[in-house]
Structure 1
Amino acid sequence: MVVVALAGAVVVRRWWMIACAAALCGGVLLGALHAAQVDRTRLVDGQGYEVAVQLTSAPRPHEAAGRTWWSADGRIAAGADEARVSLSGNGDLAASMGDTLIARMVAGPPFGRGRSASLRVVGTAQVVPAHGPAATARVLMRQVAGNGDAGWLLSGMTLGSDQGLSPVAADDMRASGLTHLTAVSGANCAILLALVHWLGGWLHVPRAPRALAAGVVLGTFVVVVGSQPSVLRASVMAGLTLAAGLVGGRRAAAHVLQVSAVLLLMLDPWLAYSVGFMLSIAATAGLIAVIDRGALAATMAAQVATFPILLAIGGAVGPRTVIANVLAAPLAAVVPVLGLVALAGQWAVGSGGVAAVLGRALCELILRVAAWDGVPELTWLPGHAGVLLACVVTIGVFAIGRRHVVVVAAGLVALVSSTIAFADGWPPRDWWIVACDVGQGDAFVARSGGGVVVVDAGTDPETTDACLDRLGVDRVDLLVLSHFHADHVDGLGGVFTRPVAQVWVSPWREPVEQYEQAQRLLSGVPVSVPAPTAVALVGDMRLTVIWPERVIHAGSVPNNASVSLLLTTPHASAAFLGDIEPEAQQAILRAWPIDVDVAKVPHHGSAQFDPRLPAAASARIALIGVGEDNTFGHPAPEAVSAWQQAGAAVYTTAANGDIAVTRELAVEVRGRRDPGLG
């Protein structure tokens, strides 16, 4: 209501109306902030209780380290207050978006910004199916769409969900940059409204009835899809912008878009971190630029306008992505409309008719486009320069001529992405192991076969979180905390800004302060002390626990109780040795044949090491997590020399910054470009 009031004030240019609407907005903002405070205080970490949560996403299945689990997004409503949460649980969950989950849950730290908490389901969950028009529409859509990937894609592109796609199809959609097709955003609303506007113009319907018809269609669409916050935001922005454009032209539409964006940010400041919100604004801005050009032009304009944002968040933007989006754009403008027509037919006469058949056929074409990978693996210019170039390209597309936006968009983006002087970005596309530069501490990430393992968390949450963000890590299948010293666990909060499936920890619960702090953060996550010789399978990685077999009271007990691992994949192997000292190193050498490609040097390259270890490991690459000018003298020159004499190229985070080892055992560094010490 506030958005409507202020938007109208801007269109008619009555400044007293703008002032009143702004005052009203301030009152609503204070109420929203109060509600947000209530939400946060209601959820207490570590306490189990029965709660009802409405799912705002379909459950996402996961499998790693010998267990299956699911994750989802949800919201808890109590009166006027609402809390957004992340959910997870063991096994499978047969539920759909909109259903209500009732179960005993344990609260933990929030996964991601804008969440009040993460909730883990313990025991059996009761699923209460959703009711109302949106739930009925999803049931009817499943009946009319049919089975198979094409049917699920038709349903998803119509109502907004990637549920049901096979793993192969889902991977193809991700690799080709087409996952946005199954998310309801400003682009969907723009296409629908542009189609209504274009049809009205073709039929010579006056502007006012056209605007009214567009509003009715948009309102019906929201009811059918469901009133999730993302849908409401996208529809409000697109609807108000188009209405303003019809009444006051392109300039008025731009003003209303700006006002609605600011007001939505005031009502929910966390939207500043929402990629979906940014994409909705960009897509709607693209619609404004081609407001009289039809649905196809609207689709292409949305693609071009969102290009810099997709690049900035680390999306794969290469020739395959560009070609796939150009080929899919005309289909993406038609499929949702066919889906809605088929849905209406199923509701009215029990059959989707020709619309359903055509929709599935077009979805088959989209899936074939997504699966096609016959183009070179190139990447866009990395870093801020690449994003700036993308902005220049986008502005150029719209500046050259709105009249030819479809041809210009396809040609210019494809040309630039195919002919520019491409450079590898960070991280390298085929990275396997990365040593994060977290100062004097350890934080390592391993990725292979779709699985992600993090070994230790460094000293600072923001630094660790930033490293994982740069790597595009949006979930962690297994977190290993070798021991509880501060330089390995104080950055734990940075790992937990994303879902963590399970955690392995050292059996030695000292230092007490760090142990208790870690336990608070680990509340609500499956935690275990792995037994010697325990094995976990994550992606195509096999992790074998080689230590500790017992507590060694010589030297540093916490260091010698470090969880140590052998990691093997079909292409290479690695050893992660925590901070073990000579006593534990000798025990491992007696029990295990350590012959690996990559070794995480124990205890930051301390002078306290068994001289036989480097030769026994025979690693080609030795990685040391260490801070510049630290007071411990790490790494000790004799330790570096021993690993070098054993044939390893030694890299330290102090000298090299983040260090990436690829599947082919090449090494690339970020930040400081000093060569390895080997």
Structure 2
Amino acid sequence: MEAEPGIVDLRGVWAAAGAWCSAAAVVRIAPAQAALVAVAGSFLLALMAWNLRSGRGLAAWFHRGWAPVALAAAGATVVAAAAAVQGAGGQGAAGAEPRLAALVEARETARVRVVLTMAPRARPAPPASGAMAAESRGGEWVAEARLQAVAVSGAWMSTSSRVAVSWPASWGADAVGEGDTLEALGRLSPMAPGRREVAWVGLRSPPTVVPAAAGAVDRAREDFVEAARALPGDGPALLPGMVMGDRRGQDAGLGDAMATAGLSHLTAVSGANCALVLGTVLGAGRACRLGRTATLLLCLAALAGFVAVVRPEPSVVRAAAMGTVSAVAVYAGRGRQAFAALCACVVGLLAWDPWYAGEAAFRLSVAATAGIALLGRPLAVVLHRVLPGWLANGTAITVAAQAFCLPVLLTFTTDVAAYAVPANLAVAPLVPPATIAGTAALGLAFLPGASVLVAALVWVAGVPAALVGGVGRWFATLPHAHLSWVPGPAGTVAALLVAAALVAAAWMVRLPGGVPARRAGALLAAFAVAVPAGILLPATALVGRNPPPWEIALCDVGQGDALALRTGPERAVVIDTGPDPAPVRTCLDVLGVEVVDVLVLTHLHADHIGGLEGVFSGREVREVLYSTAARAQDREPGQRPGAGAAGLSGRLPATAPARRAFAGERGSAGPVEWEVLWPLAGAPAATENDASLVVKYRIGAGGTASGRTLTLLATGDIEEEAMDVLLRTGVDLRADILKVSHHGARNGGTAVIGAAGPRAALVGVGAGNSYGHPAPEILAALQAAGTAVFRTDTAGAVLLRREGSTLVSARLEGAGG
């Protein structure tokens, strides 16, 4: 990587900023209003041009300062005009065709056919309005999809509208993936304001996969996946994702490991794929002595073919658009103006689809490319003075991308991949052969009789892909593989300062001859900001934060449950995992838990088991207890108990034996003893919530000054009717602390509060959740009983311990909330 002469052209940033603001606005207004914005912008541009050309008025006096305004107005006008033409504005059902909009507003239940545009993910349902929000109980599988048809009055009505699809977690999602067509009975409901989908489709019957007529592209993709099955290690899962974005074979464990190592961008198609395709085609064109025009056409044709084979998903379209702009820039002789090309790409993509403005993946893509354009080249020049060329270039690109992506990442997580730079350097030699050979194999899969050559190229690509997975898993197991950055606005500001300081410092020292004296002060100031903000702040995670003394911890995992009971130094019993791996992983890390004696999964809804990988990450889990409404014989032949339960399939390592628990079972770990009170053996629960394990935990004196046992009644999501059955058995439910059932939902009932007589109640609930949890009736009953209530949506993560006969609480800092 050579130094780029001259100053980077930053003028395009104004057009990109105007386009981004316009896109964020037009998706919330009607197309007619977007048209008015476009007309107003055009009028403003014409007026400014006339003033500047005529040399009259205030605009002419300050003509140099009006250039940013004109560029921003131009970008905003282009996006608004495109949105008006496409009809991209509006909210929810208002953006649907009239007949579909009527069905959505009436909340009709009908036969639907949807095509999944992303792999299902386990988590609490996204926000829906009205009755659907109240009905979305427990965990669910959620996916983005395109509604293909709706059965109305016995006839199919064709459509092509974006929707969100969900179905109960107990139905599982192992048999479906991105690109599959599903048919089921579903209820159409309006989405909450601010979402691009026109409707929420809550499935009312288990979906069936509709066999699609396989075209040439589908057959080639399936042949490629089939050839990859013979690869070792993570090759069968990673190679289809790296080459064509097919992530169906990737389990949550691999995904979490790659994210922890800072390699998640390699699990799917990204801009790197297009760059490698373009680089290969460009090299071939030069080797054949093709002219610039022929090379440009060849590059564009290769990109078009690549997009057609991989499928035009948003990430692929973004990458191809950037590749097209870059190819045209090379043709025009401005190949080094990468930042200007990026700004043009941003304007074009937002005009194509203004909803990109709100997507995290788009923001990360733009941030990474901007970092490479602004920081990568000058930083490489600096590093070339002390490092070999290949290492200087790889380090510069990785550091630049990480530094610019960090402020965006902090908007939805405080976890930082500590080893992202060395991990990316380690896999850098593996990615090109995996991608180039894999793409060549995919192309050859279209040719009849080329199966032997395809298989050979798949192995050439698959071995490096398997090594990439191994590298990711290894880095994920290292100590402090993920650090907790400073949360909130302070952390975001610190990250922005890091990026700004690195850019300033790199550009100051990139010139031959070192740093002029007049720039020394500014350079020192830049490093004075970068060092404390970028090193000292996140490195606090390495020091080992010592939480206050604790016996029971309620982790803040959003809309879900996760608790820990301390069984000894660096050991605990963990109850449920919450909906996502990151929050529970951070909580247990801050608590210092290295060994989980028992992981208790009260039931198999996603808001209780979605974070499984976060518990297993870097920890030894010795045993798993679980409950479910599914029948024991439903697991597949040959599977060990627990391994095939819905929601657990493929997610439990062989080192963690899992078994189903029933009333009457007892166990202990350190000072913690427990007794399972529910469900009753031989009496299958009607719903997954009512299959919840109800367990009474007793934490012994353990040398504390209290000399008495502390008791906790954990109730999962059991509902009122099942709890009444348990109460009628006469079992002793008295406890010092009650984990309130179902996040404080109304259907959890209040009878258990009187039976337990708790001094404190724990409620795991997400801030601003759409379910209305906790219900006012539950809170009123707790208040009437004189019970202190600790809610994660208001108190964050909470620690409880005994001091004599007093129950003392403390906030767990650095663990969310």
- Provide TM-score, normalisation by structure 1: 0.61
Larger mean CA deviation between 349-358 and 193-202 belongs to 193-202
The residue that corresponds to 2:811 in the other structure is: 669
| 1:570 Cα deviation from its structure 2 partner | 12
The residue that corresponds to 2:479 in the other structure is: 375
**AA matched with 1:125:** T
The residue that corresponds to 1:244 in the other structure is: 329
Distance in 1, Cα, partners of 2:314 & 2:456: 33
- SS of the residue 1:313 aligns to: coil
Matches within 5 A, 1:257-656: 257-262=342-347, 264-265=349-350, 268-286=353-371, 288-289=373-374, 301-314=400-413, 316-348=415-447, 349-350=450-451, 351-352=453-454, 355-372=457-474, 373-376=477-480, 378-401=483-506, 420=537, 422-423=539-540, 433-434=554-555, 445-446=561-562, 477=605, 566-567=694-695, 574-575=713-714, 591-594=730-733, 598-600=737-739, 623=762, 639=786, 652=790
Deviations 1:216-256 (A, max 9, x none): 22211101101223422332244225533652637865345
**AA matched with 1:344:** G
Distance in 1, Cα, partners of 2:190 & 2:110: 16
- SS of the residue 2:110 aligns to: strand
Q: Given the superposition, is the C-alpha separation of residues 203 and 419 from structure 1 closer, same or farther in structure 2, using an over 3 Å criterion? A: farther
The residue that corresponds to 1:180 in the other structure is: 265
For the 8 Å contact 2:162–2:196, the answer to whether it is kept is: no
The residue that corresponds to 1:86 in the other structure is: 165
- The gaps in structure 1 that reach 5 residues or longer are 405-411, 438-442, 455-466, 481-501, 504-531, 536-540, 548-561, 641-649, 674-678
The residue that corresponds to 2:196 in the other structure is: 114
Is the counterpart of residue 151 in structure 1 residue 239 in structure 2? no
- SS of the residue 2:554 aligns to: strand
| 1:69 Cα deviation from its structure 2 partner | 7.9
Distance in 1, Cα, partners of 2:792 & 2:416: 32
For the 8 Å contact 1:566–1:573, the answer to whether it is kept is: no
Deviations 1:519-551 (A, max 9, x none): xxxxxxxxxxxxx9899xxxxx9996699xxxx
| 1:318 Cα deviation from its structure 2 partner | 3.7
Matches within 5 A, 1:41-52: 41-44=102-105, 46-52=107-113
Deviations 1:155-174 (A, max 9, x none): 11111132113454344234
- SS of the residue 2:210 aligns to: strand
The residue that corresponds to 1:509 in the other structure is: none
Distance in 2, Cα, partners of 1:478 & 1:94: 17
The residue that corresponds to 1:57 in the other structure is: 118
**AA matched with 1:276:** A
Distance in 2, Cα, partners of 1:570 & 1:271: 51
| 1:312 Cα deviation from its structure 2 partner | 2.8
Distance in 1, Cα, partners of 2:490 & 2:459: 45
| 1:369 Cα deviation from its structure 2 partner | 1.7
- SS of the residue 2:147 aligns to: strand
Distance in 2, Cα, partners of 1:158 & 1:210: 23
For the 8 Å contact 1:432–1:663, the answer to whether it is kept is: no
| 1:347 Cα deviation from its structure 2 partner | 3.9
Deviations 1:169-214 (A, max 9, x none): 3442343343332232344434544555577678886654443333
For the 8 Å contact 2:243–2:435, the answer to whether it is kept is: yes
Distance in 1, Cα, partners of 2:505 & 2:291: 30
Q: Given the superposition, is the C-alpha separation of residues 253 and 598 from structure 1 closer, same or farther in structure 2, using an over 3 Å criterion? A: same
- SS of the residue 1:83 aligns to: strand
Q: Given the superposition, is the C-alpha separation of residues 59 and 666 from structure 1 closer, same or farther in structure 2, using an over 3 Å criterion? A: farther
Distance in 2, Cα, partners of 1:71 & 1:209: 46
| 1:285 Cα deviation from its structure 2 partner | 2.7
Q: Given the superposition, is the C-alpha separation of residues 322 and 654 from structure 1 closer, same or farther in structure 2, using an over 3 Å criterion? A: closer
For the 8 Å contact 2:120–2:177, the answer to whether it is kept is: yes
Distance in 1, Cα, partners of 2:280 & 2:800: 47
Distance in 2, Cα, partners of 1:19 & 1:275: 20
The residue that corresponds to 2:796 in the other structure is: 658
- SS of the residue 2:114 aligns to: strand
The residue that corresponds to 1:457 in the other structure is: none
Distance in 2, Cα, partners of 1:307 & 1:668: 30
Deviations 1:581-620 (A, max 9, x none): 9xx99x959933347684358999xxx9999978x76x8x
For the 8 Å contact 2:120–2:143, the answer to whether it is kept is: yes
**AA matched with 1:658:** G
- In structure 1, which of residues 136, 140, 165 is the aligned counterpart of residue 219 of structure 2? 136
- Provide TM-score, normalisation by structure 2: 0.52
- The gaps in structure 2 that reach 5 residues or longer are 1-15, 20-44, 46-66, 125-137, 150-157, 381-389, 511-528, 565-573, 588-602, 609-627, 630-661, 666-673, 681-689, 700-710, 765-772
For the 8 Å contact 1:452–1:477, the answer to whether it is kept is: no
Deviations 1:612-664 (A, max 9, x none): 978x76x8x6548999xxxx999879936xxxxxxxxx675699733434999
Q: Given the superposition, is the C-alpha separation of residues 212 and 248 from structure 1 closer, same or farther in structure 2, using an over 3 Å criterion? A: same
Give the percent of matched residue pairs that are identical in Structure 1 and Structure 2. 25
**AA matched with 1:422:** A
Q: Given the superposition, is the C-alpha separation of residues 31 and 359 from structure 1 closer, same or farther in structure 2, using an over 3 Å criterion? A: closer
**AA matched with 2:215:** G
| 1:340 Cα deviation from its structure 2 partner | 0.6
Q: Given the superposition, is the C-alpha separation of residues 654 and 263 from structure 1 closer, same or farther in structure 2, using an over 3 Å criterion? A: same
Is the counterpart of residue 25 in structure 1 residue 82 in structure 2? yes
Q: Given the superposition, is the C-alpha separation of residues 371 and 43 from structure 1 closer, same or farther in structure 2, using an over 3 Å criterion? A: same
For the 8 Å contact 2:261–2:418, the answer to whether it is kept is: no
Larger mean CA deviation between 569-578 and 184-193 belongs to 569-578
The residue that corresponds to 2:514 in the other structure is: none
Q: Given the superposition, is the C-alpha separation of residues 328 and 546 from structure 1 closer, same or farther in structure 2, using an over 3 Å criterion? A: same
**AA matched with 1:94:** A
Q: Given the superposition, is the C-alpha separation of residues 592 and 314 from structure 1 closer, same or farther in structure 2, using an over 3 Å criterion? A: same
Q: Given the superposition, is the C-alpha separation of residues 341 and 264 from structure 1 closer, same or farther in structure 2, using an over 3 Å criterion? A: closer
Distance in 2, Cα, partners of 1:200 & 1:419: 49
Q: Given the superposition, is the C-alpha separation of residues 391 and 223 from structure 1 closer, same or farther in structure 2, using an over 3 Å criterion? A: same
Q: Given the superposition, is the C-alpha separation of residues 433 and 192 from structure 1 closer, same or farther in structure 2, using an over 3 Å criterion? A: farther
For the 8 Å contact 1:187–1:299, the answer to whether it is kept is: no
For the 8 Å contact 1:144–1:356, the answer to whether it is kept is: yes
Distance in 2, Cα, partners of 1:236 & 1:24: 20
Q: Given the superposition, is the C-alpha separation of residues 413 and 306 from structure 1 closer, same or farther in structure 2, using an over 3 Å criterion? A: farther
**AA matched with 2:328:** A
Question: Considering only CA atoms, is the larger Rg found in Structure 1 or Structure 2?
Answer: 2
**AA matched with 2:181:** T
**AA matched with 1:240:** V
Distance in 1, Cα, partners of 2:531 & 2:465: 23
Distance in 2, Cα, partners of 1:610 & 1:98: 46
Q: Given the superposition, is the C-alpha separation of residues 22 and 279 from structure 1 closer, same or farther in structure 2, using an over 3 Å criterion? A: closer
For the 8 Å contact 1:190–1:238, the answer to whether it is kept is: yes
For the 8 Å contact 1:49–1:106, the answer to whether it is kept is: yes
Distance in 2, Cα, partners of 1:635 & 1:185: 51
Q: Given the superposition, is the C-alpha separation of residues 609 and 231 from structure 1 closer, same or farther in structure 2, using an over 3 Å criterion? A: closer
Q: Given the superposition, is the C-alpha separation of residues 421 and 400 from structure 1 closer, same or farther in structure 2, using an over 3 Å criterion? A: same
Distance in 1, Cα, partners of 2:188 & 2:697: 35
